Amino acid sequence: MRRTRTVLTTVATVATAVALMTTAAVAAAAPRGARQAVHPTQRAATISSAPAVVHSPRPRRHKRTKVIMPVHRKAGLAPGTATAPMTYHGGRLMTAPAHVYLIWYGDWSASAAPAVLGDLLEGLGGSAYARTNATFTDRAGNHVTSDIRLAGSTKVMAKHGARLSDAGVRRQVASAIARGALPSDTDGIYVVATSADVRETSGFGSRYCGWHAHTSLKGADLKYVFVGDPSRQAPRTCAAPVASTPNADRGADAIASTLVHEIDETLTDPDLDGWYDRYYNENGDKCAWTYGPTYPSATGATANIDFAGRDFLVQRNWVVSPSQGCAMSG
């Protein structure tokens, strides 16, 4: 994973990309309806519980400007990366309740994503899954928050086939705040979600599936995330390899899994100087594209967790306590 750019899956790991390690998923009862899978042997043949991520050259740390989630590839980790422990590097962590702000960029009229992500964020905060992040602490012993809530959203129309650069993603955050659509919030995570016809030009679908970064706006350190609907551009590289998805919308379900991954990493490494391993893999990276035990949803799709009464298939997250490894609950 590189610290200069982060790509989300098994392809290249960049400061917040996906590196994985296989450890038994921690089973724990989840509050607020966050049901864990109870059929360990019941998983789709194409879904691996072992990590599936690819490493990429490690650039110098000072060049790190964003962290990516690598694309899905059937490839293994470089020797040693799967077992490398995560360590704390002294930076600020997100310990206060986290406020998620969604910026819907493009045409979402035919997508289930707004409803799907709304339920995801309603059920995520305080869940057993969210508590995986609370295993991370700063030097003072303060735990990363598991209190994650949707605090606002705004829509931005774009021409069909629009293109958006990395700088353009940042501008969408700045614009939403400048016009008063969203507040400036140092405890916020601003999510720029692009519709299926919008192309993020630095490598969405080929180099990464999502990424996170931070920026200074009028003296405030703000964290932001990019996620895109891969249903047209990257259905094979940025969506789980299953026959059907829990919410019958492959794009929305793929975004949900990527978003959880990027939120996990933003909480534990918001300014890119928090928690990561010696290969610069963050917590989401180390478990990218692994799901642990799964169960069949009511529609027969593959799922591994329930948030707010809705089934999802989300990637596992790394925990550092009581032992280090991938888990679905903390």
Annotate 250-266 with DSSP letters as a single string: HHHHHHHHHHHHHHHHH
Closest to 91 measured CA to CA, from 326, 276, 285: 276
pLDDT number for residue 251: 98
Sorted by sequence, the CB contacts under 8 Å of residue 321 that are 6+ apart come out as 135
Cis link prior to 293 (omega < 30° from 0)? no
Strand partners for 217: 220
Please give the backbone phi and psi of residue 268, each rounded to the nearest 5 degrees, phi first. -100, -10
Sorted by sequence, the CB contacts under 8 Å of residue 171 that are 6+ apart come out as none
CA separation for the pair 126, 313 (Å, rounded): 18
CA separation for the pair 317, 181 (Å, rounded): 32
Closest to 231 measured CA to CA, from 239, 242, 240: 239
Sorted by sequence, the CB contacts under 8 Å of residue 55 that are 6+ apart come out as 1, 12, 13, 19, 77, 78, 81, 279
Ordered DSSP codes for 95-138: -SPEEEEEEEES--TT-SHHHHHHHHHHHHTTSTTGGGGGG-B-
pLDDT number for residue 161: 80
Please give the backbone phi and psi of residue 257, each rounded to the nearest 5 degrees, phi first. -65, -45
Q: Name the stretches of the chain with pLDDT < 70.
A: 1-64, 73-82
Share of the chain above pLDDT 90, in %: 73
The token duo for 143 is: 């735990």
Percent of residues in the chain assigned helix, strand, coil, to nearest 5:
15, 25, 60
Cβ-contact 120, 247 below 8 angstroms: no
The CB density around residue 140, as the number of other CB atoms within 10 Å, is 7
Pairing of strands 199-200, 305-307: unpaired
Please give the backbone phi and psi of residue 9, each rounded to the nearest 5 degrees, phi first. -145, -140
Pairing of strands 317-319, 86-88: unpaired
pLDDT number for residue 176: 98
Closest to 15 measured CA to CA, from 261, 189, 211, 165: 211
CA separation for the pair 31, 156 (Å, rounded): 34
Tell me the residue length of the chain.
330
pLDDT number for residue 70: 80
Cβ-contact 25, 326 below 8 angstroms: yes
Cβ-contact 20, 82 below 8 angstroms: yes
The CB density around residue 84, as the number of other CB atoms within 10 Å, is 18
pLDDT number for residue 160: 80
Pairing of strands 305-307, 310-312: antiparallel
The token duo for 96 is: 């206060």
Cβ-contact 118, 207 below 8 angstroms: no
